[in-house]
Amino acid sequence: MLQKDFAPYEPSLDMKELGFDEPCFGEYRQWDGNEPWLQLYQNLVDCSTDPADYEYTQEALAPTFSQAFRWFREKYKIHSVINLTIIGTWYFELYDLNDKRNAEIKTNQNEFKTPEEAELACLIKLIQIVKNK
């Protein structure tokens, strides 16, 4: 299903707090205090990137994982890589592009059963790193 290509609600909400405002094909909508749901659009015009539309709500833009990783690379100069081990598990690496050596950022990496688990863990780690700066 296409929904797995989008960052989940909580990381999307965290990215909103970090200033993410790129055009997206989806957004997390929430009405009357109900659980948020992913609203997908056929084109970028339908999804608002106006921060005022989300400022006082628990709604957020829904980036794809690749869009989120690109945003962290461009805005915060942290490059992420999802890799496969020789035993068939997945892990992520983060690199500081501000460092002339492109030094790897030390993370408590775990091995994950699927690339999707590694992507989500990587996104959460990126958010933690930026929030702690």
pLDDT recorded at residue 33: 72
* Full domain range(s) for residue 21: 2-63
> Based on the domain organization, do 58 and 72 belong to the same domain?
no
> Based on the domain organization, do 75 and 126 belong to the same domain?
yes
pLDDT recorded at residue 42: 74
Q: What is the DSSP letter of 17?
A: H
Residue 61 burial (C-beta neighbours within 10 Å; 0-12, 13-18, 19+): buried
Tokens matching residue 46: 């339908």
Instruction: Flag whether pLDDT at 56 surpasses 60.
Output: no
> Based on the domain organization, do 59 and 111 belong to the same domain?
no
3-state secondary structure at position 64 = strand
> Based on the domain organization, do 59 and 80 belong to the same domain?
no
Total structural domains in the chain?
2
Checking phi first, is residue 32 left (phi over 0); if not, alpha (psi -120 to 50) or beta?
left
* Other CB atoms within 10 Å distance of the CB of residue 3: 11
Q: Which helix (H) or strand (E) holds 93?
A: strand 90-96
CA 94 and chain centroid, separation:
14
> Based on the domain organization, do 17 and 49 belong to the same domain?
yes
> Based on the domain organization, do 97 and 111 belong to the same domain?
yes
Top-confidence residue, 37 or 9: 9
> Based on the domain organization, do 74 and 121 belong to the same domain?
yes
* Other CB atoms within 10 Å distance of the CB of residue 109: 16
pLDDT recorded at residue 31: 73
pLDDT recorded at residue 48: 62
| pLDDT band with cut points at 50, 70 and 90 for residue 73 | very high
Among the three residues 63, 88, 109, which one is the final residue of a domain in this structure?
Answer: 63
